[in-house]
Structure 1
Amino acid sequence: MTADLIGRLREVVGPAGVLSDPADLAGYLSDWRNAYTGTAAAVVRPGSTEEVAGVVARCSEAGVVVVPQGGNTGLCGGAVPDSSGRQVVLSLTRMRRIRDLDAANQTVTVEAGAVLRSVQEAAAAAGLLFPLSLGAEGSCTIGGNLATNAGGTGVLRYGTMRDLTLGLEVVLPDGRIWNGLRGLRKDNTGYDLKQVFIGAEGTLGVITAAVLKLFPAVRSRATAWAALPDPQAAVDLIGVLRELAGDRLTGLELMSRRSVEFVLRHSAGARDPFGDPHPWYALVELSDTLPVAGLDAVIESALGEAFERGVVLDAVVASSSAQAAALWGLREGISVAQNHEGPSLKHDVSVPISRIPAFVERTDRALEAAVPGIRIVTYGHIGDGNLHYNLSKPVGGDDDEFRARAGALARVIYDSTCAFDGSISAEHGLGQSKREIVADYKDSHELDLMRGLKQLFDPRGLMNPGKVLPGL
């Protein structure tokens, strides 16, 4: 990239908005796990949609690749530049404004760099709820959430970002601005273009703002921890809870004993809710907009019914917000705790809820045959069919040898996922980590249609190439 383009970019965003010194670039060139690292000619930090458009237009004129980046908390390398040193990282973290909150319409309009937690807080200050919740909510941005169609713990009741988004503002690859910031629940005027950009990981354009749905604030909750004999019991528990709690069922998380053991071993202050270990656990949350909704009685009744049916072996209901937080801490601490056990091969898959028990049984058996003693860490959002199916080396195993098996072990999991009509990416996206392998698990006609969209929107391949689409 020429010094002339650097100068032209500085004209758009100001001298402080372009970083080119290697010491200033470091934080933008790797993902948070240091699993993916690249280089870049510069990092550009625009402060408005117009500045984004100016940057993209000038890069387009010069034939320079743009890599959009938000909070950089992704797990698949989707926001990391390649190793050429010729790409421009477009960081949206300066664009943090809450542009509008319409309480009557129950919408909030936010810029792409707004941190998820700040959007949650803005909604709460208005007596409303933005329900997306995930582990990185203190640092991930709305633009990244949209780019990967984030899900989190509330999908069972509220859906993914696709379901939570009414309108978008997008800078197209040639620098034009598409203003689709409409807060309408009904708009039947042709193609729903926002859905093209949600989940596209910045390969079709740069999302700069969004109109998001809000909901009535939650004023009461009930949280419980249940011991289960097997994954089939978790599926049966969903049925009992839906039968007795209806749409007050907000979250249902499944965890294997091994995943909980890792948290108990490595997370300070973590305590086992039961005296004896059990094979599987479920974390259940009910919520209601009424301040006094009798949810403890509802959850106790549902768990009692599940116990009578042989679904639940034991259960405890949190009696305070601190106890509820401690139970959620057991679930949310799994990913970090696993890292203390050596290399963690992480997989994010989904299968139909009814097929989860058979999927787990078959996949566990295949992995154990491939690597005797492998430690399988299974947990996730069973209420929407999403499992984080992570792998740790056998006790005493060699780190490098285990990492060398990563591709083969991923094939075992993905082959099984495909056999059960599932998806090899439930909520983390494809990025660069699954870009090539997806061709083996996605219908070829579907991939052709996706390539057609890429050619239509970005014929020169300047928007985040090397991500999502195999061969591009």
Structure 2
Amino acid sequence: MSSSKELIGFLSQAHPDLDVLTDATDRAGYETGARYGVGTAAAVVRPAAREQVQAVVAAAQRFGVRLVVQGANTGLVGASTPDAGGEQIVLSTARLKGAIAVDPLNQSVTVGAGVLLSELNTRLAQDGLFFPVDLGADPTIGGMIAANTGGARLLKYGDVRQNLLGVEAVLAEPAGELLDLNRALRKNNVGFDFKQLFVGTGGAFGVVTAATLRVYPLPAQTATALLVPTGVAELEALLLALNAELGDFLSSCEGISREAAQAVVRHLDDVEDPFAEMEGADYAMLVELSSTMPSRAGGLDLEALLMDFLERHYGTLIGNAVVGKPEALWRLRHSITESIRNEGKIIALDLSVPRSRFPAFRAEARALIAARYPWLRIYDFGHLGDGGVHLNMVWPLQDAPAYDEAVASEVRAELYRLTVERFDGSFSAEHGIGPYNERFYRDFTADAVLGHVGAMQSRLDPRRTLSRLWLGKGE
């Protein structure tokens, strides 16, 4: 009998209340990732309480079985799905919910790891609050911590790391030990900040079961515009002007290329093309201002402020602007990936560079692709305000060589080298590492860092129970 079968038998007998799925049909939804990662699990276990998580982790250590911790399975690097061996167990946190405990005065919330972002914000809205890490997907809170998600409003509110006050996690060593760091404190300077080990590390150091997050008042007013700079040099100047003149209210600044916008126009009805009247321009900025102050109070009117900014810079820094249609503008931004899927096979890159180097990076990346892979179409967009770049390319179905995975990998590797080595950037700005990016993690991480991270992982998970990835040196 395999170790995984022994583990399943033990859990079924010792913990009859634990939800264990072994039928292939029941497992199927847990075995395929949102973009990458397809495997076969021996079973899926769905604990509903931290004590059950402790029991599963302790048993996995005892029987030598590797767990794959999974939230909503919305990750894009294959980290939340099992491999093809059929021996790993998926530990789903979907049932780790319980009460969502809101503290309006402290502006914090304590929440189970399996609560979805949408569920959290629905509850917070009852108290006029929200958790502002805004994403296209609907992940669990535990998954957001493991991936350190950012999103479209990181510019104003920061990522998960900057909004995590406390965490509760189950360790692999000592087997099943509960580490309770779940405090609702903004100031706590008593040494090593242990909770950071669980942020952005893909579950390698422990299973997050609950967390306490900083939350914010819902904006009372917003103002949104899509701006097309008059040129590349003006893009930098426009960013400087936005920060200098509207920085107190600037909550989002997204970048959208001409190609990305026009792909959406081709595939969705009732979407306005911001480049229609600007033949030479090829990049736009989706700008959002927000404030908790109502427009009637103190004379603050964000739409008036934004219109004044546009009027003063129109013709010099701004060549075209679409205003007053926030839902339509955000629909344009959020529909890019869906639209370009219709154009061919996507090669998606999640990059970041310093904001000051973005124009030069974009020019070099596009030149590299045009020179070496001229059949690829570029549809770049991203979080311009924080340096995030979704450099997505499409391998067309027609008028191009037959799709070749080896060539696609070569394109990815060349652009990663350009990002990291030439522009001091990151090859994974938001999506994490996961099996999909493991080799690049090793290529671009210093040996000293690998050594220290490996030592920590060996101490906290010596049998590698909690992660498909070894973060240290070697394999």
Q: TM-score range by the shorter chain?
A: over 0.9
Distance change (3 Å), C-alpha of 1:457 and 1:466: same
Q: Answer yes or no: is 1:22 the counterpart of 2:24.
A: yes
More divergent stretch after superposition (154-163 vs 398-407)? 398-407
More divergent stretch after superposition (437-446 vs 383-392)? 437-446
1:315 aligned to which of 312, 321, 344: 321
Distance change (3 Å), C-alpha of 1:401 and 1:395: closer
**What per-residue deviation string (whole Å, max 9, x for no partner) do you get for residues 236-287 of structure 1?**
2221111111221000000110011111111243232464254111100000
* One-letter identity of the residue aligned with 1:413: L
3-state DSSP of counterpart to 1:225: strand
- Residue aligning to 2:106: 105
Residue-pair matches, total = 464
- Residue aligning to 1:271: 272
**What per-residue deviation string (whole Å, max 9, x for no partner) do you get for residues 286-305 of structure 1?**
00001113001111122233
Q: Answer yes or no: is 1:171 the counterpart of 2:170.
A: yes
Q: Answer yes or no: is 1:296 the counterpart of 2:303.
A: yes
Distance change (3 Å), C-alpha of 1:206 and 1:231: farther
**What per-residue deviation string (whole Å, max 9, x for no partner) do you get for residues 180-216 of structure 1?**
1101011111100111110010111101111000112
More divergent stretch after superposition (395-404 vs 85-94)? 395-404
- Residue aligning to 2:182: 181
**What per-residue deviation string (whole Å, max 9, x for no partner) do you get for residues 89-128 of structure 1?**
0001011234411111110011111100111122211111
Q: CA deviation at 1:335?
A: 0.8
Q: CA deviation at 1:400?
A: 4.9
- Residue aligning to 1:248: 249
Q: Answer yes or no: is 1:161 the counterpart of 2:160.
A: yes
Rounded Cα–Cα distance in structure 2 between residues aligned with 1:417 and 1:121: 38
**What per-residue deviation string (whole Å, max 9, x for no partner) do you get for residues 124-146 of structure 1?**
11111211111003xx1111111
Q: Answer yes or no: is 1:450 the counterpart of 2:453.
A: yes
**What per-residue deviation string (whole Å, max 9, x for no partner) do you get for residues 365-416 of structure 1?**
1111111132111100010000001111257245752433111101221111
* One-letter identity of the residue aligned with 2:237: D
Rounded Cα–Cα distance in structure 2 between residues aligned with 1:175 and 1:343: 43
Structure 2 runs not aligned, ≥5 long: none
- Residue aligning to 1:326: 328
**What per-residue deviation string (whole Å, max 9, x for no partner) do you get for residues 293-326 of structure 1?**
3001111122233325x221111221xxxx2111
Distance change (3 Å), C-alpha of 1:14 and 1:336: farther
Distance change (3 Å), C-alpha of 1:358 and 1:453: same
* One-letter identity of the residue aligned with 1:331: R
Rounded Cα–Cα distance in structure 2 between residues aligned with 1:231 and 1:96: 48
Q: Answer yes or no: is 1:141 the counterpart of 2:148.
A: no
- Residue aligning to 2:69: 68
- Residue aligning to 1:233: 234
Rounded Cα–Cα distance in structure 2 between residues aligned with 1:170 and 1:73: 21
Would the aligned equivalents of 1:17 and 1:45 in 2 still touch at CA under 8 Å?
A: yes
Rounded Cα–Cα distance in structure 2 between residues aligned with 1:194 and 1:389: 32
Distance change (3 Å), C-alpha of 1:454 and 1:394: same
- Residue aligning to 1:367: 369
Rounded Cα–Cα distance in structure 2 between residues aligned with 1:373 and 1:37: 29
* One-letter identity of the residue aligned with 1:72: N
Rounded Cα–Cα distance in structure 2 between residues aligned with 1:71 and 1:232: 42
Distance change (3 Å), C-alpha of 1:209 and 1:12: farther
Would the aligned equivalents of 1:432 and 1:468 in 2 still touch at CA under 8 Å?
A: no
* One-letter identity of the residue aligned with 1:9: L
Within-5 A mapping of 1:216-231:
216-231=217-232
Within-5 A mapping of 1:279-294:
279-292=282-295, 293-294=300-301
* One-letter identity of the residue aligned with 2:455: G
3-state DSSP of counterpart to 1:291: coil
- Residue aligning to 2:78: 77
Q: CA deviation at 1:88?
A: 0.6
* One-letter identity of the residue aligned with 2:167: L
Would the aligned equivalents of 2:375 and 2:400 in 1 still touch at CA under 8 Å?
A: no
- Residue aligning to 1:305: 312
- Residue aligning to 1:415: 417
* One-letter identity of the residue aligned with 1:101: V
Distance change (3 Å), C-alpha of 1:397 and 1:180: farther
Rounded Cα–Cα distance in structure 2 between residues aligned with 1:13 and 1:266: 51
Would the aligned equivalents of 1:432 and 1:467 in 2 still touch at CA under 8 Å?
A: no
Rounded Cα–Cα distance in structure 2 between residues aligned with 1:279 and 1:395: 24
Distance change (3 Å), C-alpha of 1:23 and 1:395: closer
Distance change (3 Å), C-alpha of 1:441 and 1:4: closer
* One-letter identity of the residue aligned with 2:451: D
**What per-residue deviation string (whole Å, max 9, x for no partner) do you get for residues 437-462 of structure 1?**
22222222122222122112111111
Q: CA deviation at 1:466?
A: 3.0
Paired-residue identity, %: 38
* One-letter identity of the residue aligned with 1:250: S
* One-letter identity of the residue aligned with 2:319: L
Would the aligned equivalents of 2:100 and 2:120 in 1 still touch at CA under 8 Å?
A: no
Would the aligned equivalents of 2:435 and 2:468 in 1 still touch at CA under 8 Å?
A: no
Rounded Cα–Cα distance in structure 2 between residues aligned with 1:442 and 1:198: 18
Q: CA deviation at 1:17?
A: 0.3
Would the aligned equivalents of 2:375 and 2:399 in 1 still touch at CA under 8 Å?
A: no
Rounded Cα–Cα distance in structure 2 between residues aligned with 1:121 and 1:78: 28
* One-letter identity of the residue aligned with 1:439: R
Q: Answer yes or no: is 1:58 the counterpart of 2:59.
A: yes
* One-letter identity of the residue aligned with 2:380: T
**What per-residue deviation string (whole Å, max 9, x for no partner) do you get for residues 148-169 of structure 1?**
1000011000000000100000
Q: Answer yes or no: is 1:340 the counterpart of 2:342.
A: yes
* One-letter identity of the residue aligned with 1:107: S
* One-letter identity of the residue aligned with 1:421: D
* Aligned-CA RMSD value: 1.8
